[in-house]
């Protein structure tokens, strides 16, 4: 079967993989339909993290892209799923049996075994077929398109973060950085009942997107605004942590989404530590999510949370390598892009 | 009246000052006991960094928390002459949003006695009634004087317990005058296993004597805990030292989704954040500053000390408010952090 991967960084290619073997107990086979090019794919293409964690990518260890995706059930195994049923596929490869996995909190599994599209030894979802445990797919309800299904993963990241910061209805929220994750955070925060959601981003495109996601207000740069109950750091720049302190009220919460670049510490960052501690602000870190957050995200969408996907494009698997490089060049701009994984359909 | 006054960095004098004038809303207290701690050391040495913006304003009376006896209760309905009281080292405005909401530890106009407000080491004190907390009958002053330190840890433990479900194991980094209380207090809060990390072997001995299960030097602990972080790491880590590496060590000592509570401020250093941030993210930790204590937490600390007894200091250097005490205060300041306790007392004149 075909897959999109790389055997050296910044060189995406179509690869031929062995056909999936027989199912083991608890497994199902999914015929993949669609997978997005997102931040996971761009970072894998650049290879920074893979190099940092000493994961080798070469002819013998090909990296397969695809952190998120949707498909249809090809073989439901012993599960209650039905052939042809549309499902979202999550990127887990954990034990599936420990207390964390059973609580749908897979990132706390003692044996996580990597994530699809993140780690080289756990193939990504940009393949014609994937074989996974049945607990790592979720049926997509009618009314949620394949494209929207691909974005549930991002919404689930925001759900996990906002659960970590214990967001309560009617709390005020500021989102520093309105890229993809920032937009999803605004959407989910509004759906969870936050009021007066502020988006801050220097890009006018991102600010417009933030408004479309339901932000009550957007600003280009920090001003004298302050007093927000919850402030979410949603970008890759450590320097903007100081802005989070400006926006958060004394005793408020600052949520940290993901891992910013760590190679440019400066005095402002040092000041951040002092300010957080001195004012008893709560610093809450978040790195990923479990199936519980996927489930909540889908429920929020069923209840009307609109995932905004404007001006998107879908390309075929054969066009994918070229599109990967184009997306990398335009990142974080460019159109939302999906790869159609349905060969010959 | 006699008082210990610092006149310049490294200089302390016992001076004869006029008795404080009566102020409306204040009570007049006869000083009984005061404990020397890190704040007084900084004041004596003139180390104003991160404590007083613009540096100390000399001369000023030193002394943080004190215990005394009410001489004149003013118009107070809570106190009467003869009541023994704890005088908090924290001065709040009582009117800002934080004070009104009960978070008076975050008062916008907060000042600290003996740092940027008149200290307590004088024979008589005139203090706002809100700074005074009545002691139960028979509570000895050596026990009571610990209440403001214990109250900071009440705040820290309340934060830790609120932030995480993983409260079985608590690690205390820094077992000085403040951190050592964490041993009995964490037990009181329900921790089953307590680890103490400090670079002073004497403090580790004390922590062990108080019941800590694991006591280690910082480097030793770092290697040991990270050899099996899931089984040895703590859900709640209290960083109770201003050593610049302590926060990053705290984050390295915490299990996934644990909470690191930083009591006070680190000495800092450029790039400090890069030392702790990766662990903060990869372990999905919660980090919180614990800068002070509320009045309610001081009251809770007094109740805890009354019930539990805290840490009894058998070997205390007793310093009278007199010319003879000046040398001892300087000895305390220049000897640096160690396990020896120093107390100022107000002896009756013959």
Q: Is the minimum CB–CB distance between B99 and chain A shorter than 8 Å?
A: no
Q: At residue A121, does pLDDT exceed 60?
A: yes
Residues 145-174 of A with CB under 8 A from B: 164
How far does the CA of residue B64 sit from the closest CA of chain A (Å)?
19
Residue B308 burial (10 A CB sphere; 0-12, 13-18, 19+):
middle
Of A262, A280, A282, the CB nearest to B277: A262
How confident is the model over A289-305, as pLDDT tens digits?
A: 999 999 999 999 999 99
Chain A residues touching B291 at Cβ < 8 A: 277-280
What is the share, in percent, of chain A residues with pLDDT greater than 70?
96
How far does the CA of residue B142 sit from the closest CA of chain A (Å)?
29
Its sign, for the CA torsion B76, B79, B80, B85, is negative
How confident is the model over A149-197, as pLDDT tens digits?
A: 999 999 999 999 999 999 999 999 999 999 888 999 999 999 999 999 9
Mean pLDDT of chain A: 92
Question: Contact, A182 vs A201, CB < 8 A?
Answer: yes
Of B98, B286, B291, the CB nearest to A282: B286
Q: Is the minimum CB–CB distance between B247 and chain A shorter than 8 Å?
A: yes
Residues in chain B where the model's pLDDT stays below 70: 49-51, 266-272, 310-314, 339, 347-350
Chain B residues touching A269 at Cβ < 8 A: 271-274
Cβ of B270 within 8 Å of Cβ of A282? The answer is no
Question: Contact, B127 vs B111, CB < 8 A?
Answer: no
Q: How many CB pairs under 8 A join A and B?
A: 98
How confident is the model over A65-77, as pLDDT tens digits?
A: 999 999 999 999 9
Q: Please tell me the least confidently modeled range out of A140-144, A262-266, B44-48, B262-266.
A: A262-266
pLDDT attached to residue B270: 43
Closest CA to A53 of A115, A110, A107, A109: A115
Of B256, B278, B290, the CB nearest to A280: B290
How confident is the model over A9-53, as pLDDT tens digits?
A: 999 999 999 999 899 999 999 999 999 999 899 999 999 888 878
pLDDT attached to residue A272: 79
How far does the CA of residue A21 sit from the closest CA of chain B (Å)?
34
Q: At residue A323, does pLDDT exceed 90?
A: yes
pLDDT attached to residue A263: 59
3-state secondary structure chain A: CEEEEECCCCCEEEEECCCCCCCCCCEEEEEEEEEEECHHHHHHHHCHHHHHCCCCCECCECEECCCCEEEEEEECCCCCCCCCCEEEECCECCCCCCHHHHCCCHHHCCCCCCECCCCCCCCCCCECEEEEEHHHEEECCCCCCHHHHHHHHHHHHHHHHHHHCCCCCCCEEEEECCCHHHHHHHHHHHHCCCEEEEEECCCHHHHHHHHHCCCCEEECCCCCCCCEEEEEECCCCHHHHHHHHHHEEEEEEEEEECCCCCCCCCHHHHHHHHHHHHCCCEEEEECCCCHHHHHHHHHHHHCCCCCCCCCCEEEECCCHHHHHHHHHHHCCCCCCEEEECCCCC
Q: Is the minimum CB–CB distance between A262 and chain B shorter than 8 Å?
A: yes
How far does the CA of residue B164 sit from the closest CA of chain A (Å)?
10
How confident is the model over B97-138, as pLDDT tens digits?
A: 889 988 888 888 989 999 999 999 999 999 999 999 999 988
Question: What is the C-alpha to C-alpha distance for residues A262 and A259, in angstroms, rounded to an integer?
Answer: 8
Q: Is the minimum CB–CB distance between A282 and chain B shorter than 8 Å?
A: yes
ipTM of the complex: 0.86
Question: Contact, A315 vs A147, CB < 8 A?
Answer: no
DSSP state of B236: E
Question: What is the C-alpha to C-alpha distance for residues B30 and B350, in angstroms, rounded to an integer?
Answer: 16
């Amino acid at each position: 079967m075909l897959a999109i991967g790389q055997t050296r960084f910044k060189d995406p290619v179509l690869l031929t993989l062995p056909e999936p073997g027989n199912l083991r107990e608890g497994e199902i086979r999914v015929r993949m339909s669609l997978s997005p090019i997102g931040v996971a794919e761009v970072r894998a293409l650049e290879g920074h993290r893979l190099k940092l964690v000493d994961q080798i990518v070469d002819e013998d260890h090909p990296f397969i892209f695809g952190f998120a995706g949707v498909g249809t059930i090809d073989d439901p195994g012993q599960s209650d799923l039905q052939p042809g049923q549309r499902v979202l596929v999550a990127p887990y490869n954990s034990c599936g049996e420990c207390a964390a996995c059973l609580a749908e909190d897979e990132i706390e599994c003692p044996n996580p075994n990597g994530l699809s599209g993140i780690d080289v030894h756990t193939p990504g979802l940009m393949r014609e077929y994937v074989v996974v445990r049945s607990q790592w797919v979720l049926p997509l309800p009618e009314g949620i398109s394949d494209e929207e299904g691909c974005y549930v993963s991002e919404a689930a990241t925001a759900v996990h973060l906002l659960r970590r910061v214990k967001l309560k209805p009617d709390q005020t929220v500021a989102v520093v950085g309105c890229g993809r994750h920032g937009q999803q955070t605004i959407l989910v925060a509004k759906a969870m009942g936050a009021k007066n959601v502020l988006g801050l981003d220097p890009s006018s495109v991102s600010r417009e997107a933030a408004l479309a996601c339901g932000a009550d207000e957007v600003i280009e740069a920090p001003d004298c605004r302050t007093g927000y109950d919850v402030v979410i750091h949603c970008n890759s720049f450590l320097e903007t942590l100081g802005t989070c302190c400006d926006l958060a009220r004394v005793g408020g919460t600052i949520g940290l989404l993901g891992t910013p670049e760590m190679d440019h510490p400066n005095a402002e960052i040092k000041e951040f530590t002092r300010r957080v501690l001195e004012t008893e602000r709560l610093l809450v870190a978040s790195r990923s999510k479990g199936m519980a957050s996927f489930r909540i995200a889908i429920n929020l969408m069923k209840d009307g949370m609109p995932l905004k996907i404007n001006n998107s494009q879908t390309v075929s698997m054969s066009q994918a390598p070229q599109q990967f490089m184009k997306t990398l060049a335009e990142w974080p701009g460019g159109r939302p892009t999906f790869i159609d994984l349905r060969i010959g359909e | 009246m006699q008082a210990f006054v610092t006149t310049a960095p490294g200089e302390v004098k016992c001076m004869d000052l006029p008795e404080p004038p009566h102020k409306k809303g204040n009570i007049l207290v006869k000083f009984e006991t005061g404990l020397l701690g890190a704040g007084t050391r900084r004041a004596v040495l003139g180390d104003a960094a991160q404590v007083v913006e613009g540096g100390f304003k000399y001369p000023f009376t030193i002394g943080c928390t004190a215990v005394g006896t009410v001489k004149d209760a003013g118009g107070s309905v809570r106190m009467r002459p003869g009541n023994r009281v704890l005088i908090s080292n924290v001065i709040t405005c009582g009117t800002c949003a934080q004070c009104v909401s009960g978070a008076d530890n975050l008062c916008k106009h907060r000042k600290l006695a003996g740092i940027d407000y008149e200290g307590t080491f004088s024979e008589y004190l005139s203090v706002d009634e809100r700074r005074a907390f009545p002691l139960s009958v028979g509570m000895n002053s050596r026990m009571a004087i610990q209440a403001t330190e214990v109250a900071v840890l009440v705040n820290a433990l309340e934060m830790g317990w609120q932030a995480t479900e993983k409260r079985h194991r608590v690690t205390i980094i820094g077992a000085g005058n403040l951190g050592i209380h964490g041993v009995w207090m964490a037990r009181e809060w329900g921790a089953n296993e307590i680890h103490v990390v400090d670079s002073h072997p004497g403090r580790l001995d004390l922590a062990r004597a108080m019941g800590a299960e694991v006591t280690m030097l910082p480097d030793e602990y770092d290697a040991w805990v990270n050899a099996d972080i899931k089984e040895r790491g703590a859900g709640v880590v209290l960083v109770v030292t201003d050593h610049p590496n302590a926060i990053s060590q705290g984050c390295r000592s915490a299990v996934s989704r644990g909470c690191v509570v930083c009591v006070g401020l680190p000495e800092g250093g450029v790039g400090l954040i890069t030392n702790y941030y990766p662990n903060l993210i990869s372990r999905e930790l919660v980090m919180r500053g614990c800068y002070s204590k509320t009045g309610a937490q001081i009251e809770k600390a007094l109740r805890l000390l009354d019930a539990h007894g805290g840490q009894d200091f058998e070997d205390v250097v007793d310093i009278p408010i007199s010319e003879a005490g000046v040398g001892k205060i300087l000895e305390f300041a220049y000897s640096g952090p160690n396990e020896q306790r120093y107390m100022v007392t107000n002896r009756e004149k013959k």
